[in-house]
Amino acid sequence: MAKSLQRTKRIHDWVAYGVAIFFLFFGLAPIVWLIITSFKSEGEIVNTVLTYYPHNPIATNYVDIWRQSAFPTLMMNSLQTTIMTVVICVTVGTLASYSFSQYRFPGKYALLLFYLVVRMFPAVLMIIPLFLIMRFFGLLDTSLGLALAYTSFLLPLFIWMMKGFFDALPPDLEKAARIDGCTRIGALVRVILPLVRNGLAATAIFVAIASWNEYLFALMLTTSSGSRTWPVGLQLMIGEFQLPWGLLAAGGVISIIPVVILFALVQQTMVRGLTSGAVKG
Amino acid sequence: MEALRIKAVRKKFGPLEVLKGISLDLEEGDFLVLLGPSGCGKSTLLALIAGLEDITAGEIHIGDVIANDLHPRDRNIAMVFQSYALYPSMTVHANMAFGLKMRGVSTADQDEAVKRVADMLDIGHLLERKPGQLSGGQRQRVAMGRALVRDPMLFLFDEPLSNLDAKLRVQMRSEIKKLHNRLQTTVVYVTHDQVEAMTLATKIAVMQAGEIQQYAPPEEIYNRPANAFVAGFVGSPQMNFLPGRLERGNGDPRLRIEPANGATECTIPIGSLVESSLGNGEEVIVGIRPESIRPAGSSSTFTFDAAIELVEMTGADTLATFILGGHEMMARLPAEEKPALGDRIGLSFDPASVHLFDRHTTVRLN
Ligand SMILES: Nc1ncnc2c1ncn2[C@@H]1O[C@H](COP(=O)(O)OP(=O)(O)OP(=O)(O)O)[C@@H](O)[C@H]1O
Ligand SMILES: [Mg+2]
């Protein structure tokens, strides 16, 4: 009896591992393949004989994309757009989510719901109106315009996530701080924000990664190398007659490096922020 | 001098009127307890005094200034919250010094003030800890300390002891009392614990549904409750209430208790308890405190027999439930009285200790 129970348990373990490994493979294999490809020569990539690792690994793809294409500019543009998006979301979003969480005001729930509904429309639907708006304000093909477009879908996300962290706070803290001499904003900055800093970091990084990787809006709202971001730039390297696999792979690897570094740096904070959501003690 | 003056203060949250015209004056050095059931508006009144909420109508004076439009910081108050509301990211020292720091007090003076109060509250050894590393009782002390360092005109406490266990609560209660005796500060203290109210207060305001039912010193609240609500709310076990009628035949006026459940009638002679203005046949509520009821044989003038329904020993005394005129009542007897269930025993009370309330308005009649 005990034995068969143990065996069932072992089988369950194997099944669980099997499923986990299967999906891990699906998630990781493309990235691994991307990295492998980036170190292969053009000849090895298009060879009819498949090689599972670069037989003569080379770095020319990296050198070439950095030296001979607009890739560094694309990265700078992406960085600029991302920073703008994060700054807008963090300043506006923090204030908004805090008031949504702590204050009662007319229209509060309608607004919150509206933000959620906005998230439910596919982004494509918003592109044409956004395009017209941007053109009207002369923001087409600018980093700021793109960042504003990103906030249209990232700000609601930010607000909803941060509201969760603020909701977990004891409501009397702000009152205590106000009696101790703070204004409401002062209480937020001095007392409340230190408590939600993990959550704030996690949410800001979410936003940063989302805007760093965004493709569709960038494709529609940027037209020149002045503001074009790397996902679009990389895609445009695919010409009618050539497909520079090696360069594309190298570009892909370079552009995920910041994400990986950022994640590694704040991974602990982020996980703590997302799971605890709290201020216990 | 008056430390606090509240004039016809109203507060609405949207259509909901939570405070319906509150007025009270408080002398410097007074300890005011706001007492009332949950949801009656105690915390709201405190928030209005603190300036955390806007007043819908009326005036609040703190000291000799109108505080209506003053920022909480400028009201010269300090507050202790039920949840303590200590700043989790700061040490105990930083928590206590925060209010001073925000007012631009020098670091040396901050340290001195924190040290003085920490010694007074016996939390000197905790100063470098974060609130998360403290027990509930210690947090409570720190919260008090944070209020005390500022030496304000008015202290506000919102149920500061309700998160402590029973023993600690009693201990902290006497400490607050001692502190108040020593420092002679002016305090507004919210609680729904009537023992806290009776022991701490120099004045009690009993509130219900956004209105003050009675505002008086504790003895008066207990001995001469202004209406049936106050009478029932203050005192534990609760005052016994019986429906009755005033009878003025020839001779002394009497109270005829209206029997319930087919029980026999009983009448209580009440001598000069009520004013002569009260007419014959007046419908009243008769209130008798459980502690006024004694075993028969003492010098009390009204004696009766009653069957014991339930006996509860608290150790210090015996709570006996019995039936009088069909109504369930409770007596608080000395601990050595140990009636058995079903016993018929002789009980008595002094008619002078009876409280009479109008049946319709519930206002006190005697
Ligand atoms: N910000 C608010 N918005 C709307 N209604 C409120 C608000 N704050 C309090 N109330 C309502 O006002 C009434 C009084 O609340 P208050 O907190 O003053 O009660 P309380 O006497 O302190 O009760 P407790 O003993 O439970 O703390 C309650 O009915 C409550 O629901
Ligand atoms: Mg309250």
pTM of this structure: 0.83
Atom of ligand 1 nearest to the CA of B13: 4
Q: Decide: B38 in ligand 1 pocket, CB within 6 A.
A: yes
Cβ-based contacts of B71 with chain A (< 8 Å): 178, 183
- B132/A180 CB distance under 8 A: no
Residue linked to tokens 């008090």: B144
Residue pLDDT, tens place only, B169-191: 999 999 999 999 999 999 999 99
- Domain ranges for chain B: 2-233, 240-358
Among the ranges given (A2-16, A175-189, B2-16, B295-309), the one the predictor scored with the smallest mean pLDDT:
B295-309
* Region class of A82: left (phi > 0), else alpha (psi between -120 and 50), else beta: alpha
Q: What chain A residue is nearest to B134 in terms of C-alpha separation?
A: A281
Q: What is the mean pLDDT of residues B282-304?
A: 85
DSSP B297: T
Residues of B at the A interface (Cβ-Cβ below 8 Å)? Answer: 47, 50-52, 71-73, 77-79, 81-89, 98-99, 102-103, 130-133, 146
Residue linked to tokens 């601990």: B335
Question: Closest Cα to atom 14, ligand 1: which residue?
Answer: B41
Tell me the average pLDDT of chain B. Answer: 91
Q: What is the mean pLDDT of residues A97-105?
A: 91
Tokens of B25: 């004056």
Q: Decide: B42 in ligand 1 pocket, CB within 6 A.
A: yes
Residue A276 is predicted with a pLDDT of 54
Q: Decide: B41 in ligand 1 pocket, CB within 6 A.
A: yes
Q: Decide: B13 in ligand 1 pocket, CB within 6 A.
A: yes
Cis, bond preceding B237 (omega within 30 deg of 0)? yes
- Between these two residues, B277 and A148, which has the higher pLDDT value? A148
Q: How far is CA B274 from the centre of its chain?
A: 27
Measured distance CA(B60)–CA(B8) in Å, rounded: 9
Residue B126 is predicted with a pLDDT of 95
Does CATH number 2.40.50.140 belong to domain B240-358?
Answer: yes
Measured distance CA(A218)–CA(A240) in Å, rounded: 21
Tokens of B144: 């008090």
Q: In degrees rounded to 5, what are phi and psi of residue B152?
A: -85, 175
Q: What is the mean pLDDT of residues B8-18?
A: 94
Residue B298 is predicted with a pLDDT of 62
Measured distance CA(A55)–CA(B218) in Å, rounded: 93
- The pairs formed by B109-114 with CB atoms below 8 angstroms and a separation of 24 or more are B113/B149, B113/B151, B114/B145, B114/B149
- Domain ranges for chain A: 8-38, 69-276
Tokens of A263: 């994640």
pLDDT at A187 over 90: yes
- A170/B50 CB distance under 8 A: no
DSSP assignments along chain A, one per residue: -HHHHHHHHHHHHHHHHHHHHHHHHHHHHHHHHHHHHHTS-HHHHH-SS--SS-SS---HHHHHHHHHSSHHHHHHHHHHHHHHHHHHHHHHHHHHHHHHHH---TTHHHHHHHHHHHTTS-HHHHHHHHHHHHHHTT-TTSHHHHHHHHHHHHHHHHHHHHHHHHHTS-THHHHHHHHTT--HHHHIIIIIGGGSHHHHHHHHHHHHHHHHH--HHHHHH--STTT--HHHHHHHT--SS---HHHHHHHHHHHHHHHHHHHHHHHHHHHHHHHH-S---
**Best to test chain A binding among B49, B79, B155 (most A CBs inside 10 Å):** B79
Q: Which residues 164-223 in chain A show a CB within 8 A of chain B?
A: 170, 172-173, 175-183, 186, 191, 194-195
Q: What chain B residue is nearest to A193 in terms of C-alpha separation?
A: B89
User: Please, are residues A119 and A153 in contact by the beta-carbon 8 Å criterion?
Assistant: yes
B200: burial class by Cβ within 10 Å (0-12, 13-18, 19+)? buried
Residue B212's pLDDT band (boundaries 50, 70, 90)?
A: very high
Q: What is the mean pLDDT of residues B70-99?
A: 93
Q: Tell how far the Cα of A182 is from the centroid of ligand 1, in angstroms.
A: 24
Length of chain A: 281
Residue pLDDT, tens place only, A14-49: 999 999 999 999 999 999 999 999 999 888 888 888
Residue B29 is predicted with a pLDDT of 94
Amino acid letter at A38?
S
Residue A19 is predicted with a pLDDT of 96
pLDDT at B321 over 60: yes
Q: What chain B residue is nearest to A174 in terms of C-alpha separation?
A: B85
| Cα separation values, A52 from A29, A62, A185, B116, B265, Å | 12, 20, 58, 74, 104
Q: In degrees rounded to 5, what are phi and psi of residue A165?
A: -70, -40
**Residue B282, H or E segment:** none
Residue pLDDT, tens place only, B99-118: 999 999 999 999 999 999 99
In sign, the C-alpha dihedral spanning A209, A211, A217, A220 is negative
Among the ranges given (A110-119, A141-150, B148-157), the one the predictor scored with the smallest mean pLDDT:
A110-119
Measured distance CA(B363)–CA(B356) in Å, rounded: 8
- B81/A177 CB distance under 8 A: no
pLDDT at B77 over 90: yes
Atom of ligand 1 nearest to the CA of B45: 18
Ligand nearest to the CA of B81: 2
Q: What is the CA radius of gyration of chain B?
A: 25
Residue B270 is predicted with a pLDDT of 78
| Cα separation values, A231 from A4, A79, A228, A236, B327, Å | 54, 12, 9, 9, 84
- Which residues touch A153 (CB under 8 Å, ≥6 apart)? A118, A119, A123, A126
- A176/B79 CB distance under 8 A: yes
**Best to test chain A binding among B54, B84, B87 (most A CBs inside 10 Å):** B87
B296: burial class by Cβ within 10 Å (0-12, 13-18, 19+)? middle
User: Please, are residues B300 and B294 in contact by the beta-carbon 8 Å criterion?
Assistant: yes
Cβ-based contacts of A181 with chain B (< 8 Å): 73, 99, 102-103
Pick the CATH number of A69-276 from 3.40.50.2300, 1.10.8.50, 3.10.20.30, 1.10.3720.10: 1.10.3720.10
Q: Decide: B192 in ligand 1 pocket, CB within 6 A.
A: yes
Q: Closest to A280 (Cβ–Cβ): which among B52, B71, B132?
A: B132
Residue B279's pLDDT band (boundaries 50, 70, 90)?
A: confident
Q: Decide: B294 in ligand 1 pocket, CB within 6 A.
A: no
pLDDT at A279 over 50: no
Q: What is the mean pLDDT of residues A68-92?
A: 94
- B81/A180 CB distance under 8 A: no
**Among A252, A250, A265, CA closest to A208:** A265
- Between these two residues, A164 and A3, which has the higher pLDDT value? A164
Cβ-based contacts of B52 with chain A (< 8 Å): 175, 178-179
- A175/B81 CB distance under 8 A: yes
User: Please, are residues B103 and B127 in contact by the beta-carbon 8 Å criterion?
Assistant: no
Measured distance CA(B299)–CA(B182) in Å, rounded: 41
Q: What is the mean pLDDT of residues A110-131?
A: 86
Tokens of A37: 């490809």
Residue B272 is predicted with a pLDDT of 66
Residue A1 is predicted with a pLDDT of 56
Residue A280's pLDDT band (boundaries 50, 70, 90)?
A: very low
Q: What is the mean pLDDT of residues A161-182?
A: 92
Q: What is the ipTM of this complex?
A: 0.84
**Among A93, A77, A117, A98, CA closest to A231:** A77
Q: In degrees rounded to 5, what are phi and psi of residue B325?
A: 55, 30
Residue A277 is predicted with a pLDDT of 43
Q: In degrees rounded to 5, what are phi and psi of residue A45?
A: -70, -45
A96: burial class by Cβ within 10 Å (0-12, 13-18, 19+)? buried
- Which residues touch B4 (CB under 8 Å, ≥6 apart)? B24, B25, B26, B32, B49, B60, B61, B62, B154, B186, B188
The CATH H-level superfamily of B2-233 is P-loop containing nucleotide triphosphate hydrolases (3.40.50.300)
Among the ranges given (A252-266, B18-32, B204-218), the one the predictor scored with the smallest mean pLDDT:
A252-266
Residue B192's pLDDT band (boundaries 50, 70, 90)?
A: confident
- The minimum CA-CA distance between A11 and chain B, rounded to whole Å, is 44
Residue B22 is predicted with a pLDDT of 96
Ligand nearest to the CA of B49: 1
Q: What is the mean pLDDT of residues A214-219?
A: 92
Residue pLDDT, tens place only, B236-272: 899 999 999 888 777 678 888 888 887 777 888 877 6
Atom of ligand 1 nearest to the CA of B14: 4
Measured distance CA(A32)–CA(A152) in Å, rounded: 33
Residue A171 is predicted with a pLDDT of 84
Q: Decide: B152 in ligand 1 pocket, CB within 6 A.
A: no
pLDDT at A273 over 90: no
Return the top range by mean pLDDT from A44-53, A108-117, A186-195, B240-249: A186-195
Residue B37's pLDDT band (boundaries 50, 70, 90)?
A: very high
> How big is the CA angle at A200 (ends A197 and A203), to the nearest 5 degrees?
150
